[in-house]
Amino acid sequence: MKKSIQYYYLAVLAALILLPVLVFTLLRGHIDTNNYENRLLAEKPVLGQPINTQTAFPDVVTIENFPGYFDSWFNDHLPFRNQLLSFNGRLDYDVLKSTTSDVVIIGKEGWLFYKGAQANAEDPIGDYKGTNLFSDGQLERIANNMIVARDELRERGAEFVIFICPNKERVYSEYMPDAYGEPSQENRMQQVVDYLRSHTDIPVVSAYEDLMAYKQEHPEQQLYFKYDTHWNDVGAYIGTRTLNETLGFTQVPFEELTVEDYGMGNFDLARLLHLGQYLNRDGAYKLYGYTPHEITKTGDATGTEFHMSTDDTAPGWKLFVIGDSFSTMSLNYYACHYQYAYLNFYYNYQLSQLEEEQPSVVVYECVERYLGNMLNFSITDGIKSEAEPF
């Protein structure tokens, strides 16, 4: 009798393990298995074959490392994974109002914020709390890198402007959980802006100043996405006002634009909580009337390189932007003054691109969480290897 009960329990356990796999196999073509994460899912390991480790040197699968790679693959391709993760995300967001996510914070009134993946020198919470301040030596190094860039560009007949954009956490700190406190007034962004302005003659534009001034006067107008790390098109437009003036152009006042809210979008922080299809309604705007010039814009498959042209009546000649994802949204609003513009992310930047484009103006744009890259940037070599410790 006892042995029969044991067999029964074993059969139930086997069914619980195998039934979801069987059902998933039968329904696979009818359920959502898309990848909504900002990373590549682990690939299935095959003994003796190279496997993508998302580094410059793929590993070869051996008996010793096979279990680890198989575990990663199985976890990333678990039957009903998206459905289970979405259910957990809804529970965290709607019921618990908090999450154990390593990269996302659920803030007040449902706002989402970015903890950072501690990749590419990013640390948004350190930026917010002021715990990752640059040393004097690091600030000097950043200034030297930018001075070298200025001098190289000057020899090529091009102007150089630095454009710094704030993290969402700083602009909308009122929605951060109380546990994080107020944003530190002493922070990396202010360090870099103040140091470059006092130790170089390079024009340094801080979008934070325009954004906060506008936000104070128009608190009803949302400038960043609620479920995304980036500014929306309104924030991007407001943030470029001083940059346009620095480049020598007058920006059409925002009040004179036509603004269309198309309501739905695909937001990165929502995706990281596996709620991309649930949290998809936010202030997603499109602006009209900011330029009299017809704009043609094309991009590559990676979303990191863009070519943009207007017409030969635009007053500026060629603009070259070295930046990040914030530039992909703000580019229209200052490149529209140029006959031609080119954008590439600083991770992909190469001197040959500069030589090919031969611009009249170069803008180095950097969001607050990537300011550490300025330690390693070279106008001739791009982003160099990790900086030496100070």
Sketch the domain layout of the chain as residue ranges.
1-31, 34-78, 108-383
Predicted TM-score of the model (pTM): 0.83
Plot region of 250 (φ>0 → left; ψ -120 to 50 → alpha; else → beta): beta
Task: Please spell the DSSP secondary structure of 94-146, one letter per residue.
Answer: IIIS----SSEEE-GGG-EEE---S-TT--HHHHHHT-SPPPHHHHHHHHHHH
Closest CA relative to residue 230, chosen from 329, 343, 364, 365: 329
Going from the C-alpha of 296 to that of each of 86, 185, 291, 307, 308, the distances in angstroms are 38, 41, 13, 8, 6
- From first to last of the 390 residues of the chain, give the pLDDT tens digit: 566 777 666 777 766 666 666 655 665 665 666 666 656 777 888 887 788 765 545 688 888 888 888 777 766 666 656 666 666 667 777 777 778 788 999 999 999 999 987 566 689 999 999 999 999 999 999 999 999 999 999 999 999 999 999 999 999 999 999 999 999 999 999 999 999 999 999 999 999 999 999 999 999 999 999 999 999 999 999 999 999 999 999 999 999 999 998 878 889 999 989 898 889 889 789 999 999 999 999 998 888 899 999 988 999 999 999 999 999 999 999 999 999 999 999 989 999 999 999 999 999 999 999 999 999 999 999 886 443 333
Six-digit token string for 192: 């870099």
Alpha-carbon span 266 to 175, nearest angstrom = 21
Closest CA relative to residue 213, chosen from 200, 228, 227, 223: 223
pLDDT of 67: 81
Alpha-carbon span 13 to 283, nearest angstrom = 48
Closest CA relative to residue 353, chosen from 302, 315, 304: 304
Is the distance from CB of 289 to CB of 120 less than 8 angstroms? no
